[in-house]
Amino acid sequence: MYSEKVMDHFSNPRNVGEIENADGVGQVGNAKCGDIMKMYLKIENDMIVDVKFKTFGCGAAVATSSMATEMVLGKTVEEALQITNKAVAEALDGLPPAKMHCSNLAEEALRAAIQDYYKKNGIPFDGEPVCSGCCHDCSVVHE
Amino acid sequence: MDKVIYLDHAATTSVRQEVVQEMLPYFTEKYGNASSIYAIGRESKKAIEDAREKVAKALKCGPKEVFFTGSGTESDNWAIKGMAFANREKGNHIITTAVEHHAVLHTCQYLEKEGFEVTYLPVDEHGVISLEQLEKAITDKTILISVMFANNEIGTIQPIKEIGRIAREKGIYFHTDAVQAVGHVPIDVNEYNIDMLSLSAHKFHGPKGVGVLYVRKGIKIHTLLQGGAHERGKRAGTENIPGIVGAGKAIEMATKDIEDKVSKIQALRDRLITEVLEKIPYCRLNGHPTQRLPGNVNFSFEFIEGESLLLMLDMKGVAASSGSACTSGALDPSHVLLAIGLPHEIAHGSLRLTFGDDNTEQDVDYVMEVLPPIVERLREMSPLYEEVKRGVKHV
């Protein structure tokens, strides 16, 4: 049911862990839904120089977290914000339809971490709502 | 990874070689339609009746009380809808439980749309219904009590004998979904006052695609499938003769020396339960500690999610199952785990391992070798566990 890439990222997830004194930390989802994703960013001169994640969730949730961290490493914050859930899913050679919401979680965790960085540094940003990552009560429309 | 340790016998089982051998001639040489009058037709008819005798012997009922169907699900649908529609004049109330298989739950929900009223009895923390609540739920409109013999997820065995007694005293028919129980625990429909019982052959080393509904003599239920005189006009459709032959052989084998088999499997179950609870922290056993199916083990591991656990076990060659939402494609975890009072986050981290008589002590050794590091690895990856380690979250 999962692509080889999903299974690769699930069994050997990249960038698992935490960053002490991270410049931005974002956590989305909730335990009730069975998915929580937490992302840590180290940002220097507007560039993401380190990224780590921790995830409670299914195979797709772990794989999308791992892939998202690979995709943002070395990118500028602006570039990282352009990464969509669809791009993460595509990079994994697709996800089963029932698992697409896991890719939302990756996109939103990244966004939440970047917003945290903006807040900490007093940088104004569009206050767009971050989806809770919990499909039960979330109305955010994803691509 | 060549080694596969199959610990999902509640999902399905392999067909025994002896069963396959009995089935084979009915695909090729003895292919007659049992409704035909010539020799190979009569031979097929006899094969069905022989299988019926074997099922009857296993359930301790008469052969005329045994009807072959296409699955356990069909048997459940037939028993409940057939009983409901046949007794509409008498009443419109059905009592069942919150932890039934969907074959029963969804059938009851369908009947609610058709104007029936259904009481879904809650269960205690071990998954057992309360006999007091059952008695209180009975009204003069109650036509059927349907309570599963044993739960497919957590293995809890219901007080079937007492439920049967209550139903009999009140003059209400009693159906039990015994799909997980037949061939795994001794059953006597008369001793337990069971009026209807569903079973499925593939759960005890028989073929898939064959179910049975036992209906006590004298009980009238409506027919769901029209179109022929098969199964004495109660279930139309050309009989699955190889399957039925296989079901007969399989139930004969499964119920022979059942006590010995039960004690062997139960020993594996109890050893695994003891060792896992001892070695893995933040873990609980779901279901009743003793009143459970001999082969069923169901744990919840906090801070991790079931599907991830299954994928990692699969990589190590262990086939198991989980009640997590992710494994079903739904948003909510198993209704059974929620019904026993588990919070969502703990229900998501469930693992079901079900033993069969082909499992060995070495299989338990192997699970104990691979499971604890997998749980630990997933926890190291989990933001929930991080909070616990830091003391932010109290368990």
Q: What is the pLDDT of residues B36-60, one digit of tens each?
A: 999 999 999 999 999 999 999 999 9
Q: Please tell me which of the candidates B312, B325, B381 has its beta carbon nearest to residue A54.
A: B381
A126, pLDDT greater than 80 = no
Nearest CA in chain B to A38: B383
Q: Please tell me which of the candidates A37, A60, A135 has its beta carbon nearest to residue B331.
A: A135
A83 part of a folded domain: yes
B156, pLDDT greater than 90 = yes
- With H, G, I as helix, E, B as strand and everything else as coil, classify residue A5: helix
The number of beta carbons lying within 10 Å of the beta carbon of residue B18 is 14
Give the integer Cα–Cα distance in Å for B55 and B198: 12
| Top mean-pLDDT range of A84-98, B1-15, B234-248 | B234-248
- With H, G, I as helix, E, B as strand and everything else as coil, classify residue A41: strand
Give the integer Cα–Cα distance in Å for A133 and B284: 27
Length of chain A: 143
Rounded mean pLDDT, B250-266: 95
Task: Provide the pairing of β-strand B5-6 with B318-319.
Answer: parallel
Lowest mean pLDDT among A89-93, B58-62, B306-310, B388-392: B388-392
A21 part of a folded domain: yes
B240, pLDDT greater than 80 = yes
Taking CB atoms and an 8 Å limit, are A33 and B331 in contact across chains?
A: yes
A68 part of a folded domain: yes
CATH code where residue A42 lies: 3.90.1010.10
Q: What is the pLDDT of residue A4?
A: 96
Give the integer Cα–Cα distance in Å for B285 and B127: 12
Stretch 10-39 of chain A: residues touching chain B, C-beta under 8 Å: 10-11, 13, 16, 18, 27, 31-38
Instruction: Determine the structural domain holding residue A60 and report its residue range.
Output: 4-120
Rounded mean pLDDT, A13-32: 93
B62, pLDDT greater than 80 = yes
Nearest CA in chain B to A134: B331
Residues of A with CB below 8 A from B384's CB? Answer: 31, 36, 56
Q: What is the pLDDT of residue A142?
A: 58
Task: Provide the pairing of β-strand B211-215 with B196-200.
Answer: antiparallel
Q: What is the pLDDT of residue B127?
A: 98
Which amino acid, B74? Answer: E
B272, pLDDT greater than 80 = yes
Give the integer Cα–Cα distance in Å for B193 and B153: 25
Separation in Å, CA of B391 to nearest CA in chain A: 16
Taking CB atoms and an 8 Å limit, are A11 and B303 in contact across chains?
A: no
Give the integer Cα–Cα distance in Å for B143 and B286: 32
Give the integer Cα–Cα distance in Å for B20 and B242: 9
B154, pLDDT greater than 90 = yes
Q: What is the pLDDT of residues B302-337, one digit of tens each?
A: 999 999 999 999 999 999 999 876 666 666 789 999
For every residue of A27-40, DSSP letters joined together read EEEEGGGTEEEEEE
Q: What is the average pLDDT value for chain B, to the nearest integer?
A: 95
A91 part of a folded domain: yes
A21, pLDDT greater than 60 = yes
Q: What is the pLDDT of residues B180-193, one digit of tens each?
A: 999 999 999 999 99
Domain count, chain A: 1
Phi, psi (rounded to 5 degrees) for A129: -70, 135
Question: pLDDT confidence of A26, banded at 50, 70, 90?
Answer: very high
Q: What is the pLDDT of residues B357-386, one digit of tens each?
A: 999 999 999 999 999 999 999 999 999 998
A142 part of a folded domain: no
A12 part of a folded domain: yes
- With H, G, I as helix, E, B as strand and everything else as coil, classify residue A53: strand
Count contacts between A and B (CB, < 8 Å): 75
% pLDDT > 90, chain B: 93
Q: What is the pLDDT of residues A49-80, one digit of tens each?
A: 999 999 999 999 999 999 999 999 999 999 99
Which residues of A are catalytically annotated? 33, 102
Q: A3 — contact with chain B (CB < 8 Å)?
A: no
Q: What is the pLDDT of residue B8?
A: 97
Length of chain B: 395
Lowest mean pLDDT among A26-30, B119-123, B164-168, B203-207: A26-30
Question: pLDDT confidence of B195, banded at 50, 70, 90?
Answer: very high
A77 part of a folded domain: yes
B394, pLDDT greater than 70 = no
A134 part of a folded domain: no
Q: What is the pLDDT of residue B11?
A: 96
Comparison of pLDDT for B391 and B131, the residue scoring more: B131
Comparison of pLDDT for A138 and B44, the residue scoring more: B44
Specify the DSSP element, H or E, that contains A108: helix A100-120
- The Cα-based distances of B350 to B193, B300, B310, B311 in angstroms read 34, 4, 10, 13
B105, pLDDT greater than 70 = yes
Q: What is the pLDDT of residue B327?
A: 62
Residues of A with CB below 8 A from B325's CB? Answer: 33-34
